[in-house]
Chains A and B, each alone.
Chain A
Amino acid sequence: MTGAMLAIALSVSLTTPSPVTSLMMPRNAKIAAGLCRDRQVRVWSMPDAKLLRTFAVTKEQIALTAISDDGRWIMVSDYRGSVVVYDSSTGQPQLEQHIDHYVTAAAFSRDSRLLAIAPGNERVRIIDVAAKRVTELEHSVFIGALAFSSDGKSLAAADGDGVRIFDTATGRRVSRNDDFVMSPLTVDFTADGKQAIAAGAEKVVVFFDAASGKTLRRAVITDKPVFYVGVAPDSKQLLLATFDADNMDLPTPVVICEVESLLKIVQWTPPASVVGGTWTPDSHLIVATADKDAVSLWQVR
């Protein structure tokens, strides 16, 4: 099925004086926060696209950004090892950390309370953002992706060999799946937290039991490498965002398939490369693309 056959609509356009390199959208879809080339974060209210505030972040090159599901916290990390969590309602820093290297993966818990970061070749840290308390996970290096389960009790960490599931309270490893040849680049949980789903450059999507690590299904859903998998809140749809291994700037298909049957519901190639997106609470997918003057938000499903 192609995008032309589906109701893919340009829903909102966000104008900006500086190009957006990364658009952060929380799952509540009430704001959008764009990291811009001028090292400013611009926060818009949604869906009216009104610019609420602008605040400056690090002058160094940005390594990674993330936003909590409630939209309150915005994490910005740079290649010099600075990690700052800002309060999106004020633009003020809530938490600052400095690490020896830089963050290679980050994720907020669904309740927006916890932030997990993978600091280079050090162990993954889980930070209680409000209490500023830190827990380290055992045996967790070379991490390329992190994801919390819906209840926040488990954290999936994708590394060079596969995916490990950790208990967030103790930091101990619960299970491991290494059913990959190439390192997985993305991971998510099903809504009930019982299964984890991971994929990467080898194009295979692996579903496995989070408690035991046992592979349940392996499937090739797209012929492109996958850099993002995300399960919709209804747990019935799975998003696969793909990339071109030879030129990651090229727009490549966004695919939605049914979790149960793995049949493709949508395959749509956006007009420009994707800079962000989110599932909304009612399981619609918003995808953001950018040009130098504006960010376009597309309702894909």
Chain B
Amino acid sequence: MVSAVDCRTMTSALSRREILAKCAALGSLTVAASILLPTVLSAWEEKEKSRIPTPWNELGPFYKRRAPRTSTLRVSGDPGLPLTVSGQVFDTRGQRVPNATVEVWQTDHLGHYDINGYRYRSTLICDDSGKYAFDSVMPGHYPQRVCQHIHYLASAEGHKPLTTQLYFATDPVFEGDPDKNFRRDPLIGSRDLVRPVSIGGDPKSILASVAFEIVLERL
């Protein structure tokens, strides 16, 4: 007798392509005579890996070029909730985009942008697998904008540059229900930009963390 666990082990031993080829051979998958099976399998795989581009959000009035290349936006003693943001940059075919440039800027915990210097601003270069991360603080609220947010400008050779903004599911504006309330900030055109927040550390030193994946369109 084969247990459910064993079933999963057996199927994972075969690649997606091998499974589909087997389905075609056994008649579970019917392919039009005019199309070659390998072509169909490649297209199927492409579709399964494909990703929706990260929704656009506007640049805003406080973008500043030439931000320093640092992943440490929060320095020792900074007030506010410590926050780590990490993610990976992909293209719409699901392939990692190595060495993409991700510029981020945000307010301090009280909702003030530094327009004279470069506090809470950074230019991040993704690693070979498209990963990025930075340490910061939870941005504050300020007049004219409803929600806490971090601005992004992501670019990579051969891809369409993207401006967007990251929002936090814990924002009090959402009253615990971002699905229902995300449009309270009219600039949030997509629920996908509101990300869950994980809290770790210990009660004396808690740390919030957020994952934000970015998907760029190819040119």
**Footprint of B on A, CB under 8 Å?**
60-61, 63, 79, 101-102, 104, 120-121, 141-142, 144, 159-161, 180-183, 185, 200-202, 225, 227, 245-249
Contacts and interface: CB of A to CB of B under 8 A. Distances in A.
Contacts of B112: 245-246
Contacts of A142: 58-59, 161, 163
A181 B62 contact: no
Main secondary structure of the interface of B (DSSP, over half): loop
Contact of B143 (A183, A202, A249): A249
Interface string B110-146: 0111010000000000000000000000000011100
A182 B189 contact: no
Contact of B115 (A104, A121, A225, A249): A225
Interface residues of B, number: 23
A151 B19 CA distance: 66
Interface in B154-169: 161-163
Contacts of A183: 59, 61, 63-64
- Listed from nearest, the 8 A-B pairs whose CB atoms lie closest are A61-B186, A79-B186, A121-B56, A183-B63, A182-B64, A248-B144, A142-B59, A247-B143
A245 B187 contact: no
B66 A181 contact: yes
B215 interface: no
B32 to A, nearest CB: 34
Given A181-B64, A248-B144, A120 B115 contact: no
B153 interface: yes
Contact of A120 (B56, B62, B64): B56
Interface in B32-46: none
